[in-house]
Chains A and B, each alone.
Chain A
Amino acid sequence: MLDILVILCMAAGLFFFFGTTVGIIRFPDFYTRTHAAGKGDTLSVMLMLAGLALYNLHHLSLATLLVSGKIGIICVVVFIASPTATHAIMDAGYEAKVRSWSRPGAPKDPDDDGQDNSGEKL
């Protein structure tokens, strides 16, 4: 029973990791790739760690409970650190005026802040 739950968690985590990896390769520009890299990870890491924590509880004792608690704390840290790191990378890119891809023919963003990207190569 526990095994099934563990396998489900792990498989779902792997699926989300796979999706984000494909996203990193396929998305067109820096910003969209950061989306894929930074955040699919959050859910997949949490699923993988949940699977690990459950697997660890096979022999229920105080020691394994403590280890599972520590894994839970890793989840919390990832939950806080991942969006912060994503934000930091994105903000650095925005500051450095990394050119973003937008749909051909999309209306110009109202908040372009006068960034002049015309001289840059795609």
Chain B
Amino acid sequence: MFITVTFILLFILWVLFSGKFDLFHLTLGAISCAMVAKFCSGLLFQEKSRHLGRRLAEAGRFLLYLAWLLVQIVYANFHVIGLALSGRRLRRDLDPHIFHFKTVLRHNFSRFVLANSITLTPGTVTIRIHGDTLYIHAISKKAAGDLANQDSISEMERRVGHVFERHNLCFIADKDDQA
């Protein structure tokens, strides 16, 4: 099952990159994709127990999340560039600091997505992850935004949780317990 999905994904890439539609090239592509899919399908899909439909729904929600993230990136870019181009405001607003952020996300992959999203939005970088704690470097108080607020769940984390850990919606209660 997963071998087939891997094969289809690989073959789409093959067609896109080769751009040739004659029988010879398509056959070559099919053969090599089949071989790679046979050997490497385990790399692409980690948990085999989950259903394909749920994965597809996850991918759809992830695309929506990406759209939201893109808007956030544009906003945050304006903030950082405004900081870079400003005169006196640079001295006033620039306040680099490192803070800890405890996440309630449980799976490695969603933590990875959260960390990369934090790094993608300018003004905050995830330096490292220790278990459930993210070390974040923020360039100003405004860039840190609601991540710096330990007591409530942050917007970005809530959205990542919504995409990947729907079954885990109790995590809001968890966060309140910790606070």
Question: What residues make up the interface of A, taking CB atoms closer than 8 Å to B?
Answer: 15-16, 19-20, 22-23, 26-29, 31-32, 34-36, 38-40, 42-43, 62-63, 66, 69-70, 73, 79-80, 82-84, 86-87, 90-91, 94, 100-103, 106, 109-111
The distance in angstroms between the C-alpha atoms of A103 and B127, with both chains bound, is 20
- Are A42 and B73 in contact, CB atoms less than 8 angstroms apart? yes
- Are B17 and A35 in contact, CB atoms less than 8 angstroms apart? no
The distance in angstroms between the C-alpha atoms of A84 and B115, with both chains bound, is 9
Which residues of the other chain, B, contact A109 by a CB distance below 8 angstroms? 97-99
- Are B80 and A23 in contact, CB atoms less than 8 angstroms apart? yes
B interface, over-half SS: mixed
Q: How far is the CB of B126 from chain A (nearest CB, A)?
A: 6
- With A19-B81, A35-B123 known, 17 other A-B pairs at CB within 8 A are A16-B77, A19-B80, A19-B84, A20-B84, A23-B83, A26-B84, A31-B125, A34-B125, A35-B80, A39-B125, A66-B16, A83-B116, A90-B137, A94-B135, A109-B97, A109-B99, A111-B100
Residue pairs across A and B with Cβ atoms less than 8 A apart, 27 shown, are: A16-B77, A19-B80, A22-B81, A22-B85, A28-B96, A29-B96, A35-B122, A36-B122, A38-B119, A40-B77, A40-B122, A42-B73, A43-B77, A43-B122, A63-B19, A79-B120, A83-B119, A84-B119, A87-B115, A87-B125, A87-B127, A90-B137, A91-B128, A94-B135, A100-B96, A102-B96, A106-B95
Does B139 count as interface, using CB distance less than 8 angstroms?
Answer: yes
The distance in angstroms between the C-alpha atoms of A91 and B137, with both chains bound, is 10
A interface, over-half SS: helix
Does B90 count as interface, using CB distance less than 8 angstroms?
Answer: yes
The distance in angstroms between the C-alpha atoms of A83 and B116, with both chains bound, is 6
The distance in angstroms between the C-alpha atoms of A73 and B13, with both chains bound, is 10
- Are A26 and B16 in contact, CB atoms less than 8 angstroms apart? no
Question: What residues make up the interface of B, taking CB atoms closer than 8 Å to A?
Answer: 16-17, 19, 73-74, 77, 80-81, 83-85, 90, 94-100, 115-116, 119-123, 125-128, 135, 137, 139
Q: Beyond A40-B77, A70-B16, A90-B125, is A102–B97 a contact (Cβ under 8 Å)?
A: yes
Q: How far is the CB of B96 from chain A (nearest CB, A)?
A: 5
Return the contact of B81 from the options A40, A100, A102 (Cβ within 8 A).
A40
Q: Beyond A27-B94, A29-B96, A31-B137, is A40–B125 a contact (Cβ under 8 Å)?
A: no
- Are A111 and B98 in contact, CB atoms less than 8 angstroms apart? yes
**Among the interface residues B121, B127, B135, which one has the most CB atoms of the partner chain A within 10 A?**
B127
The distance in angstroms between the C-alpha atoms of A66 and B14, with both chains bound, is 11
- Are B95 and A91 in contact, CB atoms less than 8 angstroms apart? no
The distance in angstroms between the C-alpha atoms of A83 and B69, with both chains bound, is 13
Q: How far is the CB of B1 from chain A (nearest CB, A)?
A: 25
